[in-house]
Amino acid sequence: MLTIDAKNVDFYYSEFHALKNINLEVEKNKVVALIGPSGCGKSTFLRLLNRMNDLIDGTRMTGSVLIEGKDIYAPGIRVDELRKEVGMVFQKPNPFPKSIFENVAYGLRVNGISDKNFIEERVVQSIKSAALWDEVKDKLNKSAFALSGGQQQRLCIARTLAISPKVVLMDEPASALDPISTAKIEELIYELKKDYTIMIVTHNMQQASRVSDKTAYFYLGEMIEYDDTIKIFTNPKELSTQNYITGRFG
């Protein structure tokens, strides 16, 4: 079964047609990179997968999105349940003004888990999976705001992993970070692939080619090309894709 299956997706911000007939399939435990010039609809598409766009007034979607075979836009779908399955890491690190521990425990608590031992175990495990443990193990009760930007972003990843999603969406997760933090996040994505299906938006071509199995190239709301990352970067079918990855525009 496909993990993500978007069929004939069109999306509008009021009158503005932001996504045009997108068809995209993702298999389990793959990493897909979304690339394309600013404003082409990458974030919009990503936010369709956990229904984050619902928060914006005046938006409209047609077509369907299936996550593990389930239509997430079907009537009766609970958005909060969906978002447990489809986690999201944002461009700018956005930890809560709480302790490091509570940041990671948050998703568990709001989902009704109160078993202390379970929470503690899961928090530790998630922080370890996010490759942050060695740096924070002695200060779990300190404010998350005291961490560096790179650490905060890994904390946000840990927070997302804690609720055991099936899919992890990342919207330019390293764009606000220094090269070393970026490298750490990339390594992390490579590790996470074993357990999660990941979709990542990036402006960094090297990053896309390093971390992803498949790459989708978006342009002006259309998905121009979607193929194995190797093919996209060595032998794209479309001229537009080639121009973009070789830096001739965008």
Partner 1 sequence: MQSKRISQAIAFTLFKLMSYAVIVILVLILGFIISRGIGVINWEFLTAAPEEGMTKGGIFPAIVGTFYLIIGSSLFSFPIGIMSGIYMNEYATDNKLASFIRIMTNNLSGVPSVVFGLFGMALFVNTLGFGDSILAGSLTLGLLSLPLVIRTTEESLKAIDNSFREGSLALGATKLQTIQKVVLPMAFPNIITGLILSIGRVSGETAPILFTVAAYFLPKLPNSIFDQVMALPYHLYVISTSGTDIESSRAMAYGTAFVLISIILIINILASVLRNYFAKKVKMN
Contacts with ligand ADP, residue ranges (CB under 6 A):
13, 16, 18, 36, 38-44, 56
Residues in the chain: 250
Q: Which is nearer to partner 1, 9 or 161 (CB)?
A: 161
Question: Which C-beta is closer to partner 1: that of 69 or that of 97?
Answer: 97
Partner interacting with residue 38 (select from partner 1, ligand ADP, Mg ion, none; CB below 5-8 Å by kind): ligand ADP
Q: 35: closest CA among 215, 195, 155, 183?
A: 215
Which one of partner 1, Mg ion, ligand ADP, none interacts with residue 41, CB within 5 to 8 A by kind? ligand ADP
Task: Report residue 207 as tokens.
Answer: 């990053």
CA distance 164 to 86: 9
Q: Residue 55, interface with partner 1 (CB under 8 A)?
A: yes
Question: Which CB sits closer to ligand ADP, 42 or 122?
Answer: 42
Structure tokens at 238: 């479309």
Binding partner of 241, given Mg ion, partner 1, ligand ADP, none, CB within 5-8 angstroms per partner class: none
- Pick the closer one to partner 1 by CB: 28 or 92: 92
- Select 43 or 152, whichever has its Cβ closest to Mg ion: 43
- Decide: 150 and 176 in contact? Cβ < 8 Å: no
* Residue 173's binding partner out of Mg ion, ligand ADP, partner 1, none, with CB under 5 to 8 Å set by partner kind: none
Based on CB atoms, which residue is closest to partner 1, 11 or 244? 11
Q: How far is the CB of 19 from partner 1 (least distance, A)?
A: 19
Interface pick for partner 1 out of 48, 52, 185, 189 (rule CB under 8 A): 52
Within 161-220, the residues that bind partner 1 by CB under 8 A are 163
Classify residue 124 as exposed, middle or buried by CB count within 10 Å of its CB (0-12, 13-18, 19+). middle
Site for partner 1 in 95-124 (CB under 8 A): 95-99, 102, 106-107, 109-111
Q: How far is the CB of 221 from ligand ADP (least distance, A)?
A: 7
Query: Closest Cα to residue 155, out of 137, 178, 179?
Result: 137
Which residues of the chain form contacts with Mg ion (CB under 5 A)? 43
Which residues of the chain form contacts with partner 1 (CB under 8 A)? 50, 52, 55, 57, 80-81, 83-84, 87-88, 90, 92, 94-99, 102, 106-107, 109-111, 143, 145, 156, 159-160, 163
